[in-house]
Structure 1
Amino acid sequence: MPEREQSTLVDRVTSKIFEMLLSGEIPLGGPVNEAALAELLSVSRGPVREAVKQLQGRGLVVKEPYLKARAVALTIPDMVEIFQLREAVEGMSVRLATQRMSDAELDDLLVAFSDAKKRSDGVSLDVHVRIAEGSGNARIRALLCDELYYLLRLYRARSGNAPGRREDAFAEHWQILRAMKARDADLAESLMRAHIGRATQSLQALLETEAPPSSGTEERKTG
């Protein structure tokens, strides 16, 4: 197979495995079986092996020597640290985008968001990515659209599973976009920080309910 076709196949396999992680078809913390995936996706082991390496580089798959690959487990301490970083960076991202995006770009974003809301489709339009791209800051864009993008997508997918959170997130996004349209950078940043703060609390509560009960028991003292 030509190198370009092989690369394209690996990209497709990587995207498919990532979708399986997002949907829960591959459970978080569960094994990533290359042979089973190759059979399921009707490809050879080579593209799957390369796809797993890519996902490992993105922090979505963990593979230790002599052990099988496993999907990353979303721990509460890791989530809190990443969302604290996200709150700070995305606050500045939306501030810059509010100041730098053209009226036409903001109008296009509002229309695209409205269309996505009608379809209840949060996948086709990633508001956070569009804002990062509009910030005009290459380092912010690299952090949010490349380095942390896939891990954040995984966390945000879990956050969206909390009861009522998806509807609340749509309303919060709409308020942020309206503040951007009004060129109110202070309000846009404040709303973005509050939005991510609520997402953090929602996801933390969800992960705590899913955490296995402690196996340790205290010895009962008798006097």
Structure 2
Amino acid sequence: MTPPLHLSLAGQAVEVLRELVLTGEIPPGTRLNEVELAQRLGISRGPLREAIRHLASEGLLVLVPHRGASVPTADAAEVQALFELRTALECAAAQLAASRRTEADVVRLRAVCEESRRANALGQRFPYRLDLAFHQALLDAARSPRIAEQVRLVQQRVVLLRSALRDDPPHQHASLDDHDALVAAVAAGEPERASEVMRKHLARVCAQMLTGLG
């Protein structure tokens, strides 16, 4: 991933480090080696430490005094807590999206769904970027910046915890079907149906993650 050139050195480090964590390239439970990471990113340890502090503020890293930073691991209580919050936020967003969407919003949502199905047909693991892109398109349609800000933080923590789980093709297909059903409800301008589809979608994703944790 190449970060935008206008970002500061620390800002670029944030984006690259976030990518390494969310894709599972730095797996949950891993303690960060600042010397190796600084060499890998081609920066000094000052900007790297700024990036680590930033990601810790987002919940993507855990900082322990005198021990450094590590990538958090998933447990059932954390997953359930995240999905309680995510359900409250995203069901409200789905309702707002169904009430406020424009034709351009619907076109974008459908485009992301189609791209996700193409990737799935090619045998690609359900890419987190496409999942986030779908939910971001829904949030954009909702036109509620405060909800969107909080959802982004919760979503990426879920993505982080999911990175340690094995692929589940039936779950991936079900998620694609859920996304299509959400678009249909939003396009039809049916807030309550959109909220209910979102609630069922997130309940299934939560259950799948808990099963994956064993």
TM-score of the two chains, using structure 2 as the length reference: 0.85
Percent identity between the two aligned chains: 26
**In the TM superposition, what whole-angstrom CA distance separates every residue of 1:115-139 from its partner, at most 9, and x where no partner exists?**
3422346414621122122212232
Work out the CA distance in 1 between the residues paired with 2:64 and 2:24: 22
| 1:140 paired residue among 141, 147, 156 | 147
Is residue 206 from structure 1 mapped to residue 206 from structure 2 by the alignment?
no
Q: Max radius of gyration: which structure?
A: 1
- Provide the secondary structure at the position in 1 that maps to 2:8: helix
Q: Corresponding residue for 2:123?
A: none
Is residue 76 from structure 1 mapped to residue 71 from structure 2 by the alignment?
no
Counterpart amino acid of residue 153 in structure 1:
V
Greater relative CO (CA pairs within 8 A, separation 6+) = 2
How far residue 158 of structure 1 moved from its aligned partner, in angstroms, is: 5.0
Q: CA RMSD in A?
A: 2.3
Counterpart amino acid of residue 172 in structure 1:
D
- Provide the secondary structure at the position in 2 that maps to 1:69: strand
How far residue 157 of structure 1 moved from its aligned partner, in angstroms, is: 4.3
Deviates more, 1:83-92 or 1:158-167: 158-167
Is residue 40 from structure 1 mapped to residue 40 from structure 2 by the alignment?
yes
Q: Corresponding residue for 1:96?
A: 96
How far residue 163 of structure 1 moved from its aligned partner, in angstroms, is: 4.3
Q: Corresponding residue for 1:111?
A: 111
How far residue 103 of structure 1 moved from its aligned partner, in angstroms, is: 2.1
Is residue 187 from structure 1 mapped to residue 177 from structure 2 by the alignment?
no
CA contact (8 A) 1:158 1:203 kept: no
**In the TM superposition, what whole-angstrom CA distance separates every residue of 1:29-78 from its partner, at most 9, and x where no partner exists?**
21011111111222222221111111111111111211121111222101
Rate the CA distance shift 1:73–1:56 in 2: closer, same or farther, 3 A.
same
Is residue 168 from structure 1 mapped to residue 170 from structure 2 by the alignment?
no
Is residue 153 from structure 1 mapped to residue 178 from structure 2 by the alignment?
no
**In the TM superposition, what whole-angstrom CA distance separates every residue of 1:77-105 from its partner, at most 9, and x where no partner exists?**
01101101111211111011011011232
- Provide the secondary structure at the position in 1 that maps to 2:68: coil
Is residue 56 from structure 1 mapped to residue 56 from structure 2 by the alignment?
yes
- Provide the secondary structure at the position in 2 that maps to 1:164: helix
How far residue 6 of structure 1 moved from its aligned partner, in angstroms, is: 9.1
Work out the CA distance in 1 between the residues paired with 2:98 and 2:165: 26
- Unpaired runs of 5+ residues, structure 1, are 209-223
How many residues are treated as equivalent by the alignment? 204
